[in-house]
């Protein structure tokens, strides 16, 4: 089926449609060996050989949406130069190539969404979408009301002040405390850096929620496919 090139690039997870337009006009896209710069150009992703910077793209016909409980010790990149395990190693039985929506760092566990629906992945990852992400954080020692308030109103980091967050104390003991933090930004190691900025040492960090999706009864390393109703809610833009 003939479709506009920018739509095909978006569906393949290369870039958002707007970014794909720039890639095309910059002369980085070729169809069957011919460089294309016209935005109205159409192609057939199943029949034509489409490349970006000389590398062929692939659009999966069968769309998959996977909710994974990422364990500590796995990378959310598709390859790791140091040879560390990557999250797709855990998806036994899934033959389609899927990739993470956003990321969790090596030492963070919890809910990770993976898909081969590039258009949806780009939309969810875009800062304007502002998906709420809920974390459970175990920190060393006691947490003061002032520290909780500071986290909630915003923390000054080297890349700017964080947006207000929803913060609460879940459980406490003499040795450590569990706090709940919900943010909608997606900065690198944001929750860890927020805690460090207010004098808290993170011992364990788990993402328990992404928008309306929750980790539920999954254990580390386990995954499930989203239901059709959940996929529809994501596509409608529910958060």
Report the 3 state secondary structure along 59-109.
CCCCCCEEEEEECCCCECCCCCCCCCCEHHHHCCCCCCCCEECCCCCCCCE
- Name the residue range of residue 206's domain: 132-210
Give residue 60's pLDDT band: very low, low, confident or very high (50, 70, 90): low
Residue 118, helix vs strand vs coil:
helix
Is residue 137 domain-shared with residue 198, that is, in the same domain? yes
Examine the domain organization and report whether 98 and 197 are in the same domain.
no
Whether residues 117 and 70 fall in one domain: yes
- Give the span between the Cα atoms of 189 and 205, in whole angstroms: 11
Residues 206 and 166 in one domain: yes
**Which of the residues are catalytic?**
105
Task: Report the range of poorest mean pLDDT among 20-24, 117-121, 219-223.
Answer: 117-121
| Whether 136 and 206 share a structural domain | yes
The pLDDT of residue 143 is above 90: yes
Tell me the CATH number at 12: 3.10.290.10
Q: What count of other Cβ atoms lies within 10 Å of the Cβ of residue 171?
A: 11
Residue 17, SS3?
Answer: helix
Sorting pLDDT into bands at 50, 70 and 90, what band is 9?
Answer: confident
3-state secondary structure of 167: strand
Distance of CA 29 to the CA centre of its chain: 26
Instruction: Domain count for the chain, please give it.
Output: 3
Whether residue 175 is found in the same domain as residue 147: yes
The reported pTM is 0.78
Co-location of 195 and 222 in the same domain: no
Cβ neighbour number for residue 137 with a 10 Å cutoff: 24
């Amino acid at each position: 089926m003939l479709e506009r090139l920018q739509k095909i690039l978006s569906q393949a997870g290369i870039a958002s449609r707007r970014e794909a337009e720039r890639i095309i006009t910059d002369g980085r896209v070729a169809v069957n060996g011919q460089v294309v710069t016209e935005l109205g150009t159409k192609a057939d992703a199943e029949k034509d050989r489409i490349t970006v910077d000389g590398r062929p793209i692939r659009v999966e016909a069968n769309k998959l949406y996977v909710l994974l409980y990422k364990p500590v010790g796995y990378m959310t990149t598709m390859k790791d130069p140091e040879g560390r395990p990557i999250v797709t190693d855990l998806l036994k039985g899934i033959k389609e190539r899927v990739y993470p929506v956003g990321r969790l760092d090596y030492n963070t566990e919890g809910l990770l969404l993976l898909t081969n629906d590039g258009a949806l992945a780009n939309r969810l990852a875009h800062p304007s979408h502002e998906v709420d992400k809920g974390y459970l954080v175990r920190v060393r020692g006691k947490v003061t009301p002032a520290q909780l308030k500071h986290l909630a109103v915003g923390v000054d980091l080297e890349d700017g002040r964080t947006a207000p967050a929803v913060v609460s104390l879940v459980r406490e003991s003499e040795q450590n405390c569990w706090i709940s933090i919900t943010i909608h930004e997606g900065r690198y190691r944001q929750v860890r850096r927020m805690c460090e900025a207010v004098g808290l040492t993170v011992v364990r960090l788990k993402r328990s929620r992404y928008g309306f999706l929750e980790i539920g009864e999954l254990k580390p390393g386990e995954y499930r496919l989203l239901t059709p109703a959940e996929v529809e809610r994501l596509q409608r833009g529910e958060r």
